[in-house]
Amino acid sequence: DAKTTQPPSMDCAEGRAANLPCNHSTISGNEYVYWYRQIHSQGPQYIIHGLKNNETNEMASLIITEDRKSSTLILPHATLRDTAVYYCIASSGYALNFGKGTSLLVTP
Amino acid sequence: GAVVSQHPSWVICKSGTSVKIECRSLDFQATTMFWYRQFPKQSLMLMATSNEGSKATYEQGVEKDKFLINHASLTLSTLTVTSAHPEDSSFYICSAEAGGGSNYGYTFGSGTRLTVV
């Protein structure tokens, strides 16, 4: 699986959009981009995934650049409950290998 | 849909004893399940891949005789930590893929906090 690079931490004000970047410059054509988050002492929660088209669901939007070398997860209106570690993973569909992720702190 | 149930959520055991952790897919069949371990302030590390009806595949550095995995049905995989020692204390998490074009990606259990005293 391609390696992904994320900033170690980010802050976001409650009610504002949180934009979490991810670099995956060596991603191959059959690898999807997955986003998960982990709230302290819980199992990871699926957020969204995509191959090359932008995706949106009830939780978030995923913007993938045309060359697929990077992506951005957007939480449109962050709440305090969105404080968590967010993981961006490139995978061709087998086991997911987690990096260090981005620790997002949403502040009042 | 796509729920994975993991039990127990926490367990404390004495050094030298064995502990079994269960991972069940509640509303789908999972040919393959994955087991992870997470130490404090670290990321999840893949330990092994559990395949229904066959032997598990272990990642490099994971002792297969210490971490016994059984995947006897399409909805249940178990991880047994044998002769546990304090260094085995960790957060163990399982996951499964709903498959069949699922939009849920990989679903994770809620994790098991193991403390060996």
pLDDT digits (tens, 9 = 90+) for B23-33: 999 988 888 89
Reported confidence tier of residue B54, pLDDT bands at 50, 70, 90:
confident
Question: Residue A92: how many CA atoms within 13 Å on its side-chain side?
Answer: 7
What residues are paired with B32 via a beta bridge? B51
Q: Which of A1-5, A91-95, B5-9, B81-85 has the lowest mean pLDDT?
A: A91-95
Q: Do B106 and A34 touch (CB under 8 A)?
A: yes
Look at phi and psi of residue A30 and say left if phi exceeds 0, alpha if psi is from -120 to 50, else beta.
alpha
Rounded to an integer, the average pLDDT of A77-86 is 97
Contact B68, B9 (CB under 8 A): no
Whether the per-residue pLDDT at B52 is higher than 90: the answer is no
CB–CB contact B44 A44 (8 Å): yes
The interface residues of chain B toward chain A in range 87-116, judged by CB-CB distance below 8 A, are: 91, 93, 95, 103-111, 113
pLDDT at res. B108:
94
B4, closest residue in chain A (CA to CA): A43
User: Between A96, A99, A100, which is nearest B106 by CB?
Assistant: A96
Tokens of A61: 């939007």
Residue among B5, B106, B115 with most chain A CBs within 10 A, to mutate? B106
Residue B37 near residue B44, CB atoms below 8 Å: yes
- B106 → closest Cβ in A38, A46, A100: A46
Q: b/e map of A57-67 (b: 16 or more CB within 10 Å)?
A: eeebbbbbeee
Please, which pLDDT band fits residue B36 given cuts at 50, 70 and 90?
Answer: very high
pLDDT at B100 over 70: no
